[in-house]
Structure 1
Amino acid sequence: MSLFAHRKRGLLIILLQLAAVLFTGCIREDGHGSASTNPEAKASITFVAAEYSSSTKPYFEKLVKDFETKYPNIKVELQVINWDILDSAYNTMISRNEPPDLLLTNIYAHFAKDGLLNSMDDILSKELKDDIYPYLMESSKMEGTQYTVPYVATIRQLYYNKDIYNEVGITQPPTDWKSLEEDARKIKETKQVDGFGVDLTDNEIWAYLSYFFYGAGGGWMRNGEWAINSPENVEGITFLKDLYAKGLTDAEPTVTTRDEKQRILGNGKLGMLISGNYFEAVVPHEYPGLKWGKGPIPVKEGQTPLVLGVQDVLMSFKTDHTNKEALSKFLDFMYESARYEEFVLREGFLPTIQTVGSKLAKDDPAMKQNLDAIKTAKFYPIQDPAWSAVLNATRNMGQTVLLGQTSPKQALDRLQQIALNKSH
């Protein structure tokens, strides 16, 4: 799953964007991109980045322009692609044997297993590697090899509309499932608006599964082995399904996305939802009069308070045009403190490098709190090659579970089998 994205653009825009990707692929100019270590030789880099917001593309376009001004012998061919079509776009490139030199997304291990990725140890400068928070680097490793580098991170928390809370007499956010259900019912019955927003769309379902897996004391894996159909996970999804059946969630968990629900909350029509810390930068900006608060993700009574961390990563594909020296310069440029700080603040992320993290934490108590929290966060198992297949299999299970077409146990049994099959 990705971090902050205004993912639901118009269908026409998405189709046009995909068409452009399919036709252009990863075209390189003649004479560019030879595998050379000569700094005077011309080189090219194809860079495919996920689009987080309307600000993403202008930011990266300026970054590329500034980089090419500094390094006129390195040409960067940029594509910023909406999350809705990102997977299909880069998979098309790979199927044509035209993978990007650099890709920013949220999964990687199946590519590493197939031998498609360069080791980042051969690309990262020592200065940059030493600057990245070590605990964020762990999930970027497979069998001791550093295949990716974390670019941005978030933590997930419960966000709520303070005005709604005050009107119905809720004094603090729920910390356990019992109070979550009680508060959602109070909001629904008193205000006649939805109590708890749930995103089970194909953009975010794995996040909500994680909240209730971990909240029940389960998780995706246990002791290094897949444990998707554990009794704890079944209990967590059963509780979520029951909330929906009782009318205590929003009416369309499989239709409206997290970003859309954030706007519904900002507009006073939703009491609470779980989102990333980018909520704090984006929603109050769109709704200046909004009074909002946050709390921990509610868990089953007796369970440890939950912090879920999410990170998106940069990876480098092996190509005939790979120029590791050029890639190293480009990464150093991307993570340069002032430039990287601008991106983090613009998109509402947590920084993954210590120079920027220390600076922002010093000036912003909320940033310090979030950076402290992510140190002990649970993450998706992105370092397992089966994760990509598991993630894809979750995309359409929300509706079948909510409508009773399959039981939570049956749905999780299927995911478990997919994980085991892809692990061998």
Structure 2
Amino acid sequence: MQRRFLGLTATIAALSAAAVLAGCGVTGGDSDVTLSLVAADYDLNGGDSTEKYWADLTAAYEAEHPGVDIDVRIESWDDVDRKVADMVEAGKAPDIAQIGAYADYAAEGELYTADELLTVPVQANFLVPLTTAGEMRRVQYGLPFVASTRLLFYNKKLFADAGITEPPTTWAELAAAAKKLKRDKVAYPFALPLGPEEAQAETMMWLLSGGDGYTDDAGRYVIDSDRNVRTFQWLKRELVDAGLTGPVAPGKLDRKAAFAAFARGEVGMLNGHPSLAQEAARKGVEVGMVPLPGADGEARATMGVADWIMGFKQNGHRKEIGEFLDFVFSDTNVLKFAGDNNLLPATVSASNRMQADPAYAALAPFLQALPNSRLYPVGKTSWAQVSGTIKKDIGRAVEPSAVPGTVLGRIGREATAAEGAE
């Protein structure tokens, strides 16, 4: 059977043709059904590992299901969400999309629910925080494809050189360690990337460590809650105003630049994810990893992140989509993708297998944090707008003349207005 892999260098004409075939439900060769799948490219080095993963997986599936072809198209993370949105708007939705968000499609009634697609054992196997994050109005539409968590990273050599014998367990200890690192002339005692690249992640980690978050238990935005305001007051006073966040203002510092500085050995502490641990170790940095401290001890929760896979209704292939996704979520396939990309499985059984395998020992701290993690409120259609506002404005909360409560109040009012328009 013929599978067509359209990589990042494919022409616009070829992409359009693939979309038309997908939208019309045209099949190839002797197939009864062709399922179209658009997936994100996870290869950080410009290689073809993502394409090879899907090629091997679909070949194995097609061998067992001779009436089905899977037509795969790989897109960069910069483009994949937009291209799927364009396909849907043009009435040519893929059967399956593996992308960053599902809520808008669910709200428009364009997606199958999880229980319409998956067998009960597969649906019940997702980790609880990921299942919850995949729900809109208590119905699951987003199927968590892969996950990660965030931990406090520290450079063990810089700690030792500065006379720091233990990683911090409270905010006060974190500030004290940063002061020692500054005295030892470390460029970034604590790197605080509140620039627009991924400020919503850094912000959420700190809000959780301060005892709150983006939303309350009822799912309503509480960005300017008293606890959240106190968190940013502390960040501004104890880290930024004290000169402990390095030569670049937090609002101008993007995550990518902070991570690169850590891998060069210029950062004492920052919040990081599994891929950074691998890159830093490759460059000779000995990394310590612990949960981000809370104000007086352990933080309320660790931040988790998930990417999503979903099934679109447009072409009417519910049965075939569901059977294929059951196969995608087998332990073998889940572990293969997560392990190859230094990420975490979204299922209980694959997580248990990874945790028991010495080959994945470097991921153990992240695995331990995932079951109790908190994720972005991705089930809210307003989240994309709110996240964009946070990325653009949150860095201003720690500027020299800023009043953190004023900045958070403005973001909070915009969030509440966006929520009211859902």
- Of 65, 74, 83, the residue aligned with 2:77 is 83
2:105 match: 111
C-alpha distance in 2 between matches for 1:392 and 1:119: 27
Q: Does residue 102 of the first structure (1) align with residue 96 of the second (2)?
A: yes
Q: CA deviation at 1:349?
A: 1.5
Q: How do 1:1-400 residues align onto structure 2 when only pairs under 5 Å count?
A: 20=12, 24=16, 27-29=19-21, 33=25, 41-49=32-40, 51=42, 53-54=44-45, 55-224=49-218, 225-242=220-237, 243-252=239-248, 253-284=250-281, 286-287=282-283, 289-301=284-296, 304=299, 306-319=301-314, 321-364=315-358, 367=363, 370-400=366-396
**Which segment is superposed worse, 388-397 or 324-333?**
324-333
**Corresponding residue number in structure 2 for 1:416:** 412
- The question of whether the paired residues in 2 share the 8 Å contact of 1:110 and 1:388 is answered with no
**What is the distance in 1 between the residues matched to 2:185 and 2:400?**
28
Aligned to 1:396, what secondary structure does the other structure show? Answer: helix
- Partners in 2 of 1:394 and 1:158 — Cα distance? 21
Residues 301 and 154 of structure 1, relative CA distance in 2, 3 Å threshold: same
- Do the aligned residues in 2 keep the contact of 1:217 with 1:303 (CA within 8 Å)? no
Relative to structure 1, is the Cα distance of residues 185 and 193 closer, same or farther in structure 2, using a 3 angstrom cutoff? same
- Paired with 1:322 and 1:283, the residues of 2 have a C-alpha distance of 46
TM-superposed CA distance for 1:229, in Å, is 0.9
CA distance in 2, matches of 1:356, 1:173: 30
C-alpha displacement of 1:72: 4.9
The normalised TM-score by structure 2 is 0.84
Q: Which amino acid aligns with 1:266?
A: A
Q: Helix, strand or coil for the counterpart of 1:158?
A: strand
In 2, Cα distance between equivalents of 1:135 and 1:356:
15
C-alpha displacement of 1:190: 0.8
Structure 1 residue 201 displacement after superposition: 3.3
For residues 122-148 of structure 1, what are the alpha-carbon distances to aligned partners after superposition, in whole Å with 9 as ceiling and x for unaligned?
111334223323443122122332211
SS in 2 for 1:395: helix
Distance across 1 between alignment mates of 2:22 and 2:226? 58
Identity %: 25
**In 2, Cα distance between equivalents of 1:385 and 1:358:** 33
Q: Given the superposition, is the C-alpha separation of residues 276 and 31 from structure 1 closer, same or farther in structure 2, using an over 3 Å criterion?
A: closer
Contact 1:44 1:76 in 2 (8 A): yes
In structure 2, distance between residues paired with 1:43 and 1:204: 37
The offset of 1:26, in angstroms, is: 5.5
Q: Cα deviation per residue 1:80-131 (whole Å; 9 max; x = unaligned)?
A: 3333333333333333233332222333223322222221211113342233
Shift of 1:162: 0.6
Secondary structure in 1 aligned to 2:229?
A: helix
Distance in structure 1 (CA, Å) of the matches to 2:259 and 2:13: 30
SS, match of residue 151 in structure 1:
strand
Q: Is the 8 A contact 1:21 1:89 kept in 2?
A: no
In structure 2, give the amino acid aligned to 1:123. Answer: L
Give TM-score scaled by structure 1 length.
0.84
Structure-2 change in CA distance of 1:50 and 1:240 (3 Å): farther
Contact 2:19 2:94 in 1 (8 A): no
Structure 1 CA distance for aligned equivalents of residues 51 and 253 of structure 2:
24
Structure 1 runs, 4 residues or longer, greater than 6 Å off: 16-19
- 1:260 deviates by 4.1
8 Å contact from structure 2 (residues 187, 247) kept in 1: no
Report if aligned partners of 2:31, 2:69 keep a CA contact under 8 Å in 1: no
- Superposition deviation, residue 348 in structure 1: 1.4
> Cα–Cα, structure 1 residues 186 and 369, in superposed 2: closer, same or farther, change >3 Å?
closer
User: Tell me, which stretches of 5 or more residues in structure 2 are unaligned?
Assistant: 1-7
Aligned position for 2:3: none
C-alpha separation in 1, matches of 2:54 and 2:257: 25
Consecutive unaligned residues of structure 1, counting only runs of 5 or more, are 1-15
Q: 1:298·1:305 contact (CA, 8 Å) conserved in 2?
A: no
Alignment deviations for residues 247-290 of structure 1 (CA, whole Å, 9 cap, x no partner): 31143344554344333223211111111234344432x22x32
TM-aligned CA distance change 1:409 to 1:367, over 3 Å = same
Separation (CA, whole Å) in 1 of partners of 2:364 and 2:137? 32
Letter in 1 for 2:267: L
SS of the aligned residue for 1:99 comes to coil
Distance 1:19 1:43 in 2: 21
Aligned to 1:13: none
Q: Is the 8 A contact 1:195 1:248 kept in 2?
A: yes
Counterparts of 1:261 and 1:101, CA distance in 2: 38
CA contact (8 A) 1:160 1:293 kept: yes
